[in-house]
Amino acid sequence: MNKNTKSVLAVVAASVLALGTVSVTTASAAVKEVTLAFQGPLSGGAAQAGKDEVAGAIYAIAEYDKTNPKVKVKLIQVDDQGNGTQAAIVSPGVAQNKKVIGLIGSAYSGASENSFPSYKAAGLTMVSPSASRVTLSKPGAPDSGFPIFHRVVPKDSLQGPALARLAVKGVTAPLTYYVDDQSPYGEGLRDEALSTLKKLSTIVGKDSLLPVAGGDYSAIAAKVKAAKANVVVYYGYDIDAGAFVKSLRDAGYTGVFATGDGAATSSFITTAGKKAAQDARITQGEVPFDNIATDAQKAAFTKATGVKVAGGYVTNTINATNVFLTCIKAGKLTRPAIQNCVTSGTFPDFAGGTFQFNRYGDTKDPAPIGAFYVVDGAITYKHIA
Q: Where are the domains of the chain?
A: 16-154+290-352, 157-284+369-384
Query: Sign of the C-alpha dihedral, residues 117, 120, 126, 132?
Result: positive
Per DSSP (E only), the strands in the chain are: 16-18, 32-40, 71-79, 100-105, 126-128, 149-151, 175-180, 202-208, 231-235, 256-259, 281-284, 347-348, 354-355, 370-375, 378-384
Does the domain spanning 157-284+369-384 belong to CATH 3.40.50.720?
no
How far apart CA 11 and CA 44 sit, in angstroms, is 11
Q: What is the pLDDT of residue 133?
A: 92
Whole-model pTM?
0.89
334 by DSSP, 3-state: which? coil
Cα angle 64, 364, 78 (rounded to 5 degrees) comes to 45
In terms of C-beta density within 10 A (0-12 exposed, 13-18 middle, 19 or more buried), how is residue 92 classed? middle
DSSP state of 19: P
How far apart CA 144 and CA 370 sit, in angstroms, is 26
β partners of residue 347: 355
Cα angle 372, 377, 380 (rounded to 5 degrees) comes to 25
Q: What is the DSSP string of 80-115?
A: -TT-HHHHHHHHHHHHH-TTEEEEEE-SSHHHHHHH
Closest residue by Cα to residue 59 from 308, 343, 287: 308
- Fold match between 16-154+290-352 and 157-284+369-384? yes
Q: What is the pLDDT of residue 213?
A: 72
Q: What is the pLDDT of residue 1?
A: 63
β partners of residue 128: 151
Does the domain spanning 16-154+290-352 belong to CATH 3.40.50.360?
no
Q: What is the pLDDT along the chain (385 residues), one digit of tens a residue?
A: 654 443 433 333 333 333 334 333 343 355 599 999 999 999 998 899 999 999 999 999 999 999 999 999 999 999 999 999 999 999 999 999 999 999 999 999 989 999 999 999 999 999 999 999 999 999 999 999 999 999 999 999 999 999 999 999 999 999 999 999 998 889 999 999 999 999 999 999 999 998 887 789 999 999 999 999 999 999 999 999 999 999 999 999 999 999 999 999 999 999 999 999 999 999 999 989 999 999 999 999 999 999 999 999 999 999 999 999 999 999 999 999 999 999 999 999 999 999 999 999 999 999 889 999 999 999 999 998 8
Provide φ and ψ at 104, rounded to 5°.
Answer: -90, 105
